[in-house]
Amino acid sequence: MPRFTDASPPDSCIFCRLIAGEIPSARVYEDALTVAFMDIGQVTPGHVLVATRRHAATLWDATPEEVAAVMQGARRVAQAARAAFDPAGVMLLQANGAVAGQTVAHFHMHVVPRHAGDGIDFTWPRQNPAPAVLADYAERLRAAL
Ligand code: 5GP
Ligand code: ZN
């Protein structure tokens, strides 16, 4: 199965350079394992990225501790976004691999405040397979755990 490969070694990774302070960013939060900063694109006001401090390209490369820390950071930022921007909802988005929409090969979670009519849209092509197909998929995953 093809895997997303990290085309950005740490010295040329934009987020590594940002975390090192070599390029500017509007930081929100940081701890030993993560750094949270404003996404330059601001899909909605308050759009934050929570990234691993260490260079890890994807979910497959980050440690369990790093993934947990990113999720805890996302929760903390989401709580702050609720107070600061009064959104109707909040969306967490985390892409791995170009085919999944990842454009920066350094593990990060989007925290996106959501509002009615904010223009964000996804296509979500449901397949609704038969229960036997679901059972087969589950068996394949259990065997791989
Ligand atoms: P991805 O598509 O990989 O999930 O998200 C990458 C995000 O990084 C994009 O939303 C993009 O706006 C943001 N981004 C790319 N370059 C920079 C940068 O130099 N600074 C900041 N703050 N965000 C960036
Ligand atoms: Zn990096």
Q: What is the pLDDT of residues 45-66, one digit of tens each?
A: 999 999 999 999 999 999 999 9
Q: What is the pTM of this model?
A: 0.94
Q: Are 112 and 89 in contact (CB under 8 A)?
A: no
Atom of ligand 1 nearest to the CA of 110: 4
- How far is the CA of 54 from the CAs of 13, 85, 91, in angstroms? 11, 29, 24
Give catalytic status of residue 106 as yes or no.
no
Q: Is 68 helix (H, G, I), strand (E, B) or coil?
A: helix
Residue 34 included in any domain? yes
The per-residue pLDDT for 11 is 74
Q: Are 57 and 6 in contact (CB under 8 A)?
A: yes
Question: In angstroms, rounded to a whole number, what is the distance separating the alpha carbons of residues 74 and 83?
Answer: 14
Q: What is residue 56's DSSP assignment?
A: -
Ligand with an atom nearest the CA of residue 53: 2
Residue 65 included in any domain? yes
Total count of domains within the chain: 1
Cβ of 98 closer than 6 Å to ligand 1, yes or no, is no
The per-residue pLDDT for 1 is 40
Ligand with an atom nearest the CA of residue 99: 1
Residue 2 included in any domain? no
Structure tokens given for 89: 């909802």
Residue 19 included in any domain? yes
Q: Residue 74: give its domain's CATH number.
A: 3.30.428.10
Residues of the domain holding 82: 10-120
Cβ of 101 closer than 6 Å to ligand 1, yes or no, is yes
Q: Which of 55, 106, 108, 115 is catalytic?
A: 108
CA 74 to chain centroid: 9
Residue bearing tokens 């296509």: 123
What band does 33 get if pLDDT is binned at 50, 70 and 90?
Answer: very high
Q: What is the pLDDT of residues 118-132, one digit of tens each?
A: 999 989 999 999 999
What percentage of the chain reaches a pLDDT higher than 70? 93
